[in-house]
């Protein structure tokens, strides 16, 4: 879309002419801009020109978090499959100890939001990839079938995961009954807590962006927060004070849960992310 056409779409969506449009880094999908509408009104605009644009799903997830929790997320101003306009949130993806503690408090509160089943009433996305959310009473079954096996089979279909690795994952999957725990209740999850999806200013978290929402075990959220070093000791100490983390998480379950985001990365970025999965399979004799 040309700049003039984009300005026209934004003006139609918001009922006001943009004063300035500038590029913004980040995000896996489409083009991202900051747009100044008035003297004190700045928004973020995502535009996806692809044939299967689904930015309205991201809007749904942001609105779901806004409606069902106190997690700070940008307000959605306009949503269509190819265009998303949302509130601009000040902040950067760097966290001091106080900001990590604040993140722990926010996620602990988010994880107190509960549902009767794992999954969600509709499917969502993670990093632009389809994420099935069949409502399932068993967390182990949900994680096995709708996270690990789903993503592994898709990676194989797309040529990013060979048949031998898929067979090892299929051998590993039934062992999950004895390796991960059922939660007291399914908790609301942001679903994609890695560094650039969290914004902070000084000692406070200002926003969580780019969610992959569903209900499940909070341990998968905590595991993801360790995968690329999003949060460290200050976060986990504070979270544990609010919601004790069961024994065995850091020793074993964390790496099992991180097989899911690693499979996401295999599909998006290639086989270099298989090494972490391979270690888990080796550890469990698969």
Give the pLDDT confidence score for residue 16 in this predicted structure.
82
271 pLDDT exceeds 80?
Answer: yes
Q: Where do the domains of the chain lie?
A: 3-87, 97-283
Closest to 210 measured CA to CA, from 61, 56, 22: 61
Mean pLDDT calculated for residue range 164-169: 98
- Characterise 129 by phi-psi region: left (phi > 0), alpha (psi -120 to 50), beta (else): beta
Structure confidence at residue 40 as a pLDDT band (50, 70, 90):
confident
- Cβ pair 188, 222 in contact under 8 A: no
Residues 253, 260: Cα–Cα separation, whole Å:
12
253 pLDDT exceeds 60?
Answer: yes
Structure confidence at residue 12 as a pLDDT band (50, 70, 90):
confident
Report the relative pairing of strands 20-23 and 31-38 from DSSP bridges: antiparallel
**What does CATH list as the number for 97-283?**
3.90.1200.10
Q: Which two tokens stand for residue 282?
A: 């080796």
31 pLDDT exceeds 90?
Answer: no
Element (H or E) spanning 13, and its range? helix 3-14
10 Å CB burial of residue 220 (0-12, 13-18, 19+) is: buried
Which entry of 48, 192, 210, 255 is annotated as an active-site residue?
A: 192
Mean of all residue pLDDT scores within the chain: 94
User: Residue 1: CB partners within 8 Å, gap ≥ 6?
Assistant: 9, 47, 49
Give the pLDDT confidence score for residue 50 in this predicted structure.
82
69 pLDDT exceeds 80?
Answer: yes
Give the pLDDT confidence score for residue 10 in this predicted structure.
86
The HSE-up count of residue 20 (CA atoms within 13 Å, CB side) is 10
Residues 82, 20: Cα–Cα separation, whole Å:
20
Mean pLDDT calculated for residue range 121-128: 95
132 pLDDT exceeds 60?
Answer: yes
Common-topology check for domains 3-87 and 97-283:
no
User: Which residues on adjacent β-strands are paired with residue 76?
Assistant: 86
Give the pLDDT confidence score for residue 26 in this predicted structure.
59
Instruction: Answer yes or no: 192 catalytic.
Output: yes
Mean pLDDT calculated for residue range 253-264: 97
Residues 54, 83: Cα–Cα separation, whole Å:
9
Distances (CA, A) of 68 to 189, 191, 198: 11, 15, 19
Mean pLDDT calculated for residue range 37-65: 91
Give the pLDDT confidence score for residue 28 in this predicted structure.
56
Domain 3-87: what homologous superfamily? Answer: Phosphorylase Kinase; domain 1 (3.30.200.20)
27 pLDDT exceeds 60?
Answer: no
């Amino acid at each position: 879309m040309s700049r003039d056409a984009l300005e026209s779409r934004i003006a139609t969506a918001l009922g006001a002419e943009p004063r300035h449009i500038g590029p913004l880094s980040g995000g896996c999908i489409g083009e991202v801009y900051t747009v100044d509408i008035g003297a004190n009104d700045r928004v973020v605009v995502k535009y996806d020109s692809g044939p299967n644009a689904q930015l309205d799903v991201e809007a749904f997830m942001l609105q779901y978090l806004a409606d069902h929790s106190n997690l700070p997320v940008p307000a959605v101003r306009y949503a269509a499959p190819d265009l998303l306009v949302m509130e601009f949130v000040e902040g950067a993806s760097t966290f001091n100890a106080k900001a990590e503690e604040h993140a722990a408090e926010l996620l602990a509160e988010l994880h107190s939001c509960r549902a009767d089943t794992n999954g969600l009433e509709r499917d969502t996305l993670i990093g632009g990839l389809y994420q099935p959310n069949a409502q399932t009473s068993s967390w182990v079954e949900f994680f096995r079938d709708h996270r690990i096996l789903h993503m592994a089979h898709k990676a194989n279909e797309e040529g990013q995961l060979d048949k031998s690795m898929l067979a090892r994952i299929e051998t590993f999957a039934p062992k999950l009954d004895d390796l991960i725990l059922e939660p007291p209740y399914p908790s609301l999850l942001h679903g994609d807590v890695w560094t650039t999806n969290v914004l902070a200013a000084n000692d406070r978290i200002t926003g969580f962006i780019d969610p992959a929402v569903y209900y499940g075990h909070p341990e998968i959220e905590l595991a993801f927060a360790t995968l690329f070093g999003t949060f460290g000791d200050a976060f986990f100490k504070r979270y544990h004070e609010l919601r004790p983390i069961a024994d065995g998480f850091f020793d074993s379950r964390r790496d099992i849960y991180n097989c899911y985001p690693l499979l996401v990365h295999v599909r998006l970025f290639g086989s270099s992310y298989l090494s972490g999965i391979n270690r888990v399979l080796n550890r469990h004799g698969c």
